[in-house]
Structure 1
Amino acid sequence: MSGSPGLLAFPAVTPELQARVAAGMARVEELIRERVDHEDPFIAEASSHLVRAGGKRFRPMLTLLVAELGGGINDRVVAAAAGVELTHLASLYHDDVMDEADVRRGAPSANAKYDNATAILVGDLLFGTASDIIADLGADAVKIQAQTFIRLCAGQIRDDRPVPAEVDATAYYLKVLEDKTGVLIATAARYGAMFSGCDAAVVNLVTEYGERLGMAFQLADDLIDIASEADETGKTPGTDLREGKRTLPVLYALASTDPTDARLRELLGSDLSRDEADLAEALTLLRANRALEQATQETRAVADRASEVLAPLPDSDAKAALLALATGVVERVG
């Protein structure tokens, strides 16, 4: 198992499209590095910490790829892609404080390298930088950025709180994913269509595709948190279990009435942050449990629904790549 496949790894992508997106990504990367620089050396170093650590750059890649449905990659598309990625990076600084993470992208997390206060403030600074870039793209883009940020934060808040007793836990979880992950990936796709000159119908279509793709992406990440080894992803496996988060495979396991799952249900209902042996046992049992396969099948179904949204589009290299992308986010988990 490995990280998210890059666009260039997909056989469906033509060499010409690969070259255009790769050139666009180089421009995005240059703009990000330029904008996170700062006259204060410490602020510059801390702001660029996760930029230097690398990452999948999934969201800006999607912006560039969707732009190929219209007039192609231009300066406004590149700026939008950079703004989306900086918004994502900012959220990671905050996430790592909330998760008390030690590792991000194979490097020390910002809160581990500096401290919680610095990580939070740098995250805020990056949110501001992203908004500054987006502001140059016009009032509509600013409105979308603000609405995206509201949903992103609301999803994160709900993710950090217990599911209300009267609410279906699985439905609650999927709504969290729509807001916490789906909305920013939807915005990445939306900007790509908007700033490459696509008509309103295509903008709406790729926005829906992006939200569904984002849900599949997060569902796959949650599966990877269970199924992977640390050296494969640069992250510590079982982080969600340690924090008591009930992701889809956990919800399915807890719903099981099979007596053979009793020990797993007991572990999943306990505080796994206090006992590494119990956490390791829970991971081992969950990896072998049918709940993991059930959650994998649902993840594939969500990705399939994302692909179905693209049906009205005429065939093109960009459409083929978007379809491959939906398949690729799920193939990360087997």
Structure 2
Amino acid sequence: MSSTLALPVTDPALEARLRERLAVVEKALYAHVQSRYPYVTEAASHLLDAGGKRFRPFLVLLAAETGPRPADDAVVTAACIVEITHVGSLYHDDVMDEAALRRGADSANARWDNLVAILTGDFLFAKSSELTATLGSEAVRIQAETFTRLVEGQILETVAPGPDEDPLEHYLEVVAGKTGSLIATSARYGARFGGAPREVEEALAEYGEIVGSAFQLSDDILDVASETAESGKTPGTDLREGVPTLPVLMAKASTDPADARLLELLDADLSDDALHAEALELLRRHPAMDQARAYVVARAQEAKARLAAVPEGPVRDALEAFADAVAIRST
């Protein structure tokens, strides 16, 4: 697990508490994915071993600090539920994307095969359901609704928008389902099982939905704008693979005749290095980049506005700082 916390926390006492509880969650995660069969345990632990910032369980723990019971066992359980659900979805994502790597390690489908990866994802979803059942029927309902949205988002990602459908709105629905839904539930679970007032729970869930989607959209911008040395990733990866992203979809909405070459390239096969480089350069200079950045900044500000119901203090400061960071990383 990364030594850097998933959200910026400047209060030393809060940071110490969260680090201590994250360690408890980390240990519990491995206990919860154990199977009677070592082969299944190995496969289910594979992506946990690869690490990650544990953003979703961290958000559960942070949101729980808005209530009187932040260290309740149910909070730790909820933190495990959202991470196991997230990791299960990664196994399926990698099969859909035919990915060879995940978090710098071999993906499960590359190490074993697609069948093992799919069934391991199913196993993790089953484990998250078992855990959710221990938190009561209302938690089961919330988890079921979240899982429905997550899977809908994954399905929508594979389906082209209809002739009367706005491609950008279609894409935003994909992001809200695949990313925003589980982050919203992470914040909701933390507030709920930490004992926060209902208005705080609702505010945090709305914040999580908005800021989670904005964070994903900022990745779209960085995929185009960042150099490899800055981001550690190959720029224009989504562009090369023909994945629709926020700046691409905004550029495609252009009716300016001067954009004819860019629009031609965005509809072309960009596996050719020269064509890819040309498209990337044209897109970087296009007004769609600033439009995309403005959209993400506006969403980050909208997320911050939802925090009015959260008491002032280090928890709210950390949540606001994260929204600010989302906005800044896209500009």
- TM-score under structure 1 normalisation? 0.91
Q: Mark the CA change 1:233 to 1:6 in structure 2 (over 3 Å): closer, same or farther.
A: farther
For 2:24, the equivalent position in structure 1 comes to: 27
Amino acid at match of 1:144: I
Residue segments in structure 1 that go unaligned for 5+ positions in a row: none
User: Equivalent residues in 2 for 1:56-95 (5 A)?
Assistant: 56-71=53-68, 72-95=70-93
Offset of residue 288 of structure 1: 3.5
* CA-CA distance at 1:106 after TM superposition: 1.7
* Structure-2 residue corresponding to 1:197: 195
1:39 CA drift (Å)? 3.8
Instruction: Please report how far the alpha carbon of residue 70 of structure 1 lies from its aligned counterpart in structure 2 after TM superposition.
Output: 0.6
Aligned-partner SS, 2:51:
coil
Identity of aligned residues (%): 52
Q: Any unmatched runs of 5+ in structure 2?
A: none
Alignment of 1:164-313 (within 5 A): 164-228=162-226, 237-272=235-270, 274-313=271-310
Answering whether residue 104 of structure 2 is matched by residue 106 of structure 1, we say: yes
Give the C-alpha shift of residue 213 in structure 1: 1.2
- For residue 172 of structure 1, report the CA deviation from its aligned partner: 2.0
Given that 1:68 and 1:318 are in contact with CA atoms closer than 8 Å, whether structure 2 keeps it comes out as yes
How far apart in 2 are the matches of 1:114 and 1:200?
45
Q: What is the distance in 1 between the residues matched to 2:284 and 2:226?
A: 10
Q: Which stretch has the larger CA shift, 15-24 or 225-234?
A: 225-234
Residue 164 of structure 1, CA deviation: 0.9
- CA shift, 1:36, in A, is 1.9
Q: 1:73 to 1:224 in 2, by over 3 A?
A: farther
The 8 Å contact of residues 106 and 235 in structure 1, kept in 2 or not, is answered as no
Structure 1: how far apart are the matches of 2:132 and 2:279?
44
Structure 2 partner of 1:124: 122
Alpha-carbon spacing, 1:86–1:234, altered in 2? closer, same or farther (3 Å): farther
Q: What's 1:330 paired with? A: 327
> Matched residues in 2 for 1:238 and 1:114: separation?
29
Whole-Å separation in 2 of the counterparts to 1:241 and 1:15 = 41
Give how far 1:167 is off.
1.4
| Equivalent position SS for 2:308 | coil
Q: Displacement of 1:118 after TM fit?
A: 1.2
- 1:139 correspondence with 2:167: no
**Structure-2 separation of matches of 1:291 and 1:78:** 42
User: Given the two structures, how large is their TM-score scaled by the length of structure 2?
Assistant: 0.92
Q: Deviations over 1:216-259 (max 9, x none)?
A: 12111222333345676666554433443322100111122344
Query: Hey, what does 1:6 align to over in structure 2?
Result: 5
Higher RCO structure, 1 or 2 (CA under 8 Å, sep 6+): 1
Conserved in 1, the CA contact under 8 Å of 2:100 and 2:109?
Answer: yes
Change (3 A) 1:243 1:157: farther
Contact 2:156 2:174 in 1 (8 A): yes
Output the CA distance in 2 between the equivalents of 1:135 and 1:120: 23
State the SS of the aligned residue for 2:206: helix
Question: More displaced, 214-223 or 32-41?
Answer: 32-41
Larger mean CA deviation between 276-285 and 81-90 belongs to 276-285
Query: Structure 2 vs 1, CA of residues 178 and 85 (structure 1 numbering), >3 Å: closer, same or farther?
Result: same
- The amino acid that maps onto 1:313 is V
Give 2:39's match in structure 1, choosing from 20, 26, 42. 42
Q: Work out whether residues 303 and 327 of structure 1, in 8 Å CA contact, stay in contact via their aligned partners in 2.
A: yes
Which moved further from structure 2: 300-309 or 322-331? 322-331
In terms of mean alpha carbon deviation, does 232-241 or 25-34 score higher? Answer: 232-241
TM-aligned CA deviation for residue 276 of structure 1 = 4.5
Could you tell which deviates more after superposition, 232-241 or 140-149? 232-241
Rate the CA distance shift 1:229–1:125 in 2: closer, same or farther, 3 A. Answer: farther
CA 1:236–1:37 in structure 2 vs 1: closer, same or farther (change >3 Å)? farther
